[in-house]
Amino acid sequence: MERFKDTHVIRRDCVRKTVKQFLQDWPMFQYLRREVLVNLDFEILFPDKALSLYNN
């Protein structure tokens, strides 16, 4: 997970037109634990809003 956290900036700065393109470039998001990975990125982007992702 640390390596995933360390590469957050790369994912954030990548410009994609579609979700499909993003998933093709980052196939790790297609695995069963993808929600954990999405949550980690969300927490890094919005540290005070992590639980808001679930509340909306």
Q: What is the pLDDT of residue 52?
A: 60
Do residues 50 and 42 lie in contact, with contact meaning Cβ atoms separated by under 8 Å? yes
Q: What is the pLDDT of residue 45?
A: 86
Q: What is the pLDDT of residue 22?
A: 81
Q: pLDDT below 50 — which residues of the chain?
A: none
Domain count along the chain: 1
Domain that holds residue 11: 2-55
Verdict on whether the full-model pTM lies above 0.85: no
Q: What is the pLDDT of residue 5?
A: 80
Task: Report how far residue 6's alpha carbon sits from residue 24's, in angstroms, rounded to the nearest whole number.
Answer: 20
Task: Report how far residue 18's alpha carbon sits from residue 12's, in angstroms, rounded to the nearest whole number.
Answer: 14
